[in-house]
Structure 1
């Protein structure tokens, strides 16, 4: 009799449902509050602290990294200038294609190295009329035409600019092979002596890319 009375009582059932609803609300609210607090701590505490620490950490570099970027920028600029001449002077389509690839690859590398030097507190000085750094000896000792392997003289550049057709193709390939070999030499020195991982990675990329282009240029030249 007692069991029948309790189960059939509308009042008891309403009270049970109300209590269950309140309990569920309290549990969900508590869980939501804990998650929010935990997420907030993770996002604003851990992540912010990590970001701040990363931003505060100085980039690792040494004198070899600075020298590599400072010398490779004008070296690349000269290669880009040489490649730019091919569009209106070269006779062979393969020479024009190769020149376009050189220009497309080296200009972004110039931009990257320029940003590095600025971040390292060694911004690139203004270029002089021949495209070489216009600096005094104290700014970067030993940095001149002679210290950059494969760099062309103003007379070389003038001779190339006046050539056309098959004569241009042969001269361009001969000069660019020498220029690339110089870049590979400089890049190998960075791989051996640099400390910045990004600079060393770029140096290795230059070695790989330009050695492949040297092989291609020799093959093209042999067919002229």
Structure 2
């Protein structure tokens, strides 16, 4: 009887041991699985970061000389518009002029950063060389319409124009600002139209379209302001 009593206990002990091993193995597998899941989450996070960077990479892809010229020329053009807009603070007498100047700053400052990032992405300098940009030669015949202003770009104000704007206040500033910004915007619109005709990069052409749309609307507003001043 003793032998029969001890016989069932031994398999039971083995079964318990097996259960313990299986349970331990299950925990280990779960832990490993958890680590794999966490690795997967980390990997996914890295992928998301890489994806975000890839999406943020500006104007990557096909481009041509027209795209490069557009960015290189529009950057200083926008910079002068910002300089003019900032002068409105403390000088403008008309509330609509002040409001429009603020809108110009908000719109064109980010566009400058965007175009600079394009040029970096394309491996091109922000400023064009005089040899590669014959149209920047103060009114070169090779680029009709690009002879307005001291920098040879359409709509650019001369230093004399800027000094006159800085010295003006109230209604005098408002009139000068409106007229100068109309001319300045018209120059930008011409440059943007050229980009849409000759450019290749989709993002650059899209920005050119935005310039045409937004600045044409601002020209209309500025003309109405001039009419009532």
State the TM-score, normalizing by the size of structure 2. 0.70
The equivalent residue for 1:100 is 102
The equivalent residue for 2:189 is 184
Give per-residue Cα distances to partners, 1:53-86, cap 9 Å, x unaligned. Answer: x79xx75321111100111011112211211222
Unpaired runs of 5+ residues, structure 2, are 140-145, 147-152
Q: Distance in 1 between matches of 2:79 and 2:137?
A: 14
Q: Distance in 1 between matches of 2:34 and 2:90?
A: 66
Q: 1:145 to 1:162 in 2, by over 3 A?
A: farther
SS in 2 for 1:158: helix
SS in 1 for 2:200: coil
The equivalent residue for 1:221 is 226
Aligned residues: 202
Q: 1:14 to 1:191 in 2, by over 3 A?
A: farther
The equivalent residue for 1:113 is 115
Unpaired runs of 5+ residues, structure 1, are 126-132
Q: Distance in 1 between matches of 2:168 and 2:31?
A: 76
Q: 1:171 to 1:73 in 2, by over 3 A?
A: same
State the TM-score, normalizing by the size of structure 1. 0.72
Give per-residue Cα distances to partners, 1:87-146, cap 9 Å, x unaligned. Answer: 232211221121122123222322332233233232233xxxxxxx7x53x132212454
RMSD between aligned alpha carbons?
Answer: 3.5
Q: 1:78 to 1:111 in 2, by over 3 A?
A: same
1:154-173 correspondence to structure 2 within 5 Å: 154-173=159-178
The equivalent residue for 1:129 is none
The range that moved more, 70-79 or 12-21, is 12-21
